[in-house]
């Protein structure tokens, strides 16, 4: 791989084929990247609505963007819609300017610091299960509620039985309206923009007084708000209430849909594979003997962790990442102009048969320590990669492993209707959500 401004434009859809490619994206979403790779090769490009889109799917091209010339490929700031909700937070700050804030947040989310959240995840999951009766359960709705309950408790210390609805309703409302694709930017008083502004105002009206009240009360508590109130930035200053609001809102948003999508897929895949479910139940019985799981059990539940890893491979919640090229570059023989949007897809890379034999099959047993050691970084990166990878990974893995252990310990689950192993979360939600048949386990 060489850098420089020369090279040819990569192949890709042109003319009427661009419309076909866009319709394919609408229909197949992340799977459309596989279609592009199959038709045009490891690097393809097309220009659309003023955007220059480059889709990079081979090991060497991906390594070039993520490692070799990573400084030339920055995260996008998310645009003005995202900045209204998240301000100048880590998520919306591209390049080196994000470093101090990232360090601060990553420290708060280290594995030993998130230890108290293990019990939060287990007790919230048990509360969810208390609401399930034998028979068919709309599991996707229950999981969305669960992850939001846990997220609000971890971020703000507001428990599911306290008044978290005040926060969750305007939060989910604003999040739903955030996607501004094909919408005019916020200053334009369109209907969508006015509704978005109203949702954010309602959210601010709840969250800002709550942060001020917590600052006035003082004293440490086991939540991220408490850590943020105590922390000092590199210049010695504390964060303002508004900065804390933006940062917590943005991590809550980053964690909510990803973790919920992952857990919905975990439950779907376990339900569809009775042998996996039986092996999981045996591991839980042996390690826990009927008591609820906790942080100390994580290393004693290796098969539970393997199920999570294989799910994140087969159906990664973040199916693709976007980078913006700062300057002109060359990837192999191909020219990439400055300003181009470069798309790297976990979905495509994690389904390659050269690293994952029988890639469309759900095989938790493939995740042996030896297999993991041999796996190249660019073959598996559900939590991203490099300088802007996911700082919530330890927390997400902890949550997923403990939530799965809690569910599988209390109930046996079966599919109501079959779905392909590699089925996207959008497919699940658009086909009416995930419904499973639930059988309580007798003690």
Query: Using CB under 6 A as the criterion, which residues of the chain lie in contact with ligand HEM when the complex forms?
Result: 75, 90-91, 98, 102, 109, 251, 254-255, 258-259, 262, 317-318, 321, 382-384, 388-392, 395-396
Which of 149/438 has CB closer to ligand HEM?
149
CA dist 125 and 105 (Å) reads 26
The full DSSP string for 168-229 is HHHHHHHHHHH--TT---TTS--HHHHHHHHHHHHHHHHHHHHHHHHHHH-S--SSHHHHHH
Q: How far is the CB of 425 from ligand HEM (least distance, A)?
A: 11
Give me the least distance between CB of 191 and ligand HEM, in Å please: 30
Q: Which is nearer to ligand HEM, 224 or 331 (CB)?
A: 224
The smaller minimum CB distance to ligand HEM, of residues 17 and 71, is found at: 71
Question: Please, which residues bridge with residue 440 across strands?
Answer: 411
Would you tell me how many other CB atoms lie within 10 Å of the CB of residue 27? 9
Q: What is the DSSP letter of 11?
A: P
From residue 400, how far is each of 132, 211, 266 by CA, in Å?
19, 28, 9
Helix (H, G, I), strand (E, B) or coil at 237: coil
Of 152 and 321, the one with the shorter C-beta distance to ligand HEM is: 321
Minimum distance of ligand HEM from residue 336's CB (angstroms): 18
Whether 139 and 267 have beta carbons less than 8 Å apart is answered as yes
Using CB atoms, what's the residue nearest to ligand HEM? 392
Stretch (H or E) spanning 151: helix 139-156
Q: Report the nearest approach of ligand HEM to the CB of residue 331 (Å).
A: 18
Residue 203: closest CA among 284, 87, 343, 73: 87
- For residue 417, the minimal CB distance to ligand HEM (Å) is 25
- Residue among 90 and 139 whose Cβ is closer to ligand HEM: 90
Closest distance of CB 381 from ligand HEM, Å: 7
CA nearest 132: which of 404, 428, 429, 407?
407
C-beta of 264 vs 276, nearer to ligand HEM: 264
Closer residue to ligand HEM, CB minimum distance, 32 or 254: 254
Minimum CB distance to ligand HEM, residue 17 (Å): 28
Query: Which residues have a Cβ under 8 Å from the Cβ of 232 and sit 6 or more positions away?
Result: 238
């Amino acid at each position: 791989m060489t850098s420089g401004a020369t090279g040819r434009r990569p192949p890709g859809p042109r003319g009427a084929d661009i419309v076909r490619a866009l319709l394919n994206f609408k229909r197949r979403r992340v799977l459309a990247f596989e279609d592009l790779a199959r038709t045009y090769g490891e690097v393809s490009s097309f220009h659309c609505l003023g955007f220059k889109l480059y889709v990079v799917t081979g090991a060497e091209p991906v390594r070039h963007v993520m490692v070799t010339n990573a400084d030339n490929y920055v995260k996008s700031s998310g645009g003005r819609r995202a900045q209204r909700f998240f301000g100048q937070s880590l998520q919306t700050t591209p390049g080196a300017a994000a470093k101090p804030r990232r360090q601060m947040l990553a420290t708060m989310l280290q594995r030993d610091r998130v230890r108290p959240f293990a019990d939060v995840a287990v007790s919230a999951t048990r509360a969810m299960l208390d609401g399930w009766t034998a028979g068919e359960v709309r599991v996707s709705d229950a999981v969305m509620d669960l992850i939001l309950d846990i997220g609000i408790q971890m971020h703000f210390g507001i428990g599911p039985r306290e008044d978290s609805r005040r926060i969750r309703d305007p939060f989910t409302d604003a999040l739903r309206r955030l996607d501004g694709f094909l919408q005019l930017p916020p200053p334009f008083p369109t209907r969508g923009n006015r509704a978005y502004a109203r949702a954010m105002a309602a959210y601010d009206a709840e969250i800002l007084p709550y942060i001020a009240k917590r600052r006035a009360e003082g004293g440490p508590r086991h939540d991220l708000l408490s850590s943020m109130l105590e922390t000092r930035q590199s210049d010695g200053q504390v964060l303002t209430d508004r900065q804390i609001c933006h940062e917590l809102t943005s991590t809550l948003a980053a964690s909510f849909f990803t973790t919920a999508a992952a857990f919905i897929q975990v439950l779907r895949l376990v339900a569809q594979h009775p042998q996996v479910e039986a092996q999981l139940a045996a591991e839980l019985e042996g390690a826990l003997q009927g008591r609820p799981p906790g942080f100390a059990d994580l290393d004693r539940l290796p098969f539970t962790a393997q199920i999570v890893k294989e799910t994140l491979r087969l159906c990664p919640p973040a199916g693709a990442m976007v980078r913006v090229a700062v300057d002109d570059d060359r990837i192999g023989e191909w020219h990439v102009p400055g300003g181009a949007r470069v798309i790297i897809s976990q979905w495509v890379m994690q389904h390659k048969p050269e690293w994952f034999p029988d890639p469309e099959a759900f095989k938790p047993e493939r995740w042996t320590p030896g297999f993991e050691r041999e796996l190249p970084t660019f073959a598996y990166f559900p939590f991203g990669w490099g300088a802007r990878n996911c700082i919530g990974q330890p927390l997400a893995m902890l949550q997923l492993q403990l939530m799965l252990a809690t569910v599988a310990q209390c109930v046996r689950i079966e599919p109501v209707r079959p779905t392909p192993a590699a089925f996207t979360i959008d497919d699940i939600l658009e086909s009416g959500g995930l419904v499973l048949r639930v059988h309580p386990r007798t003690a």
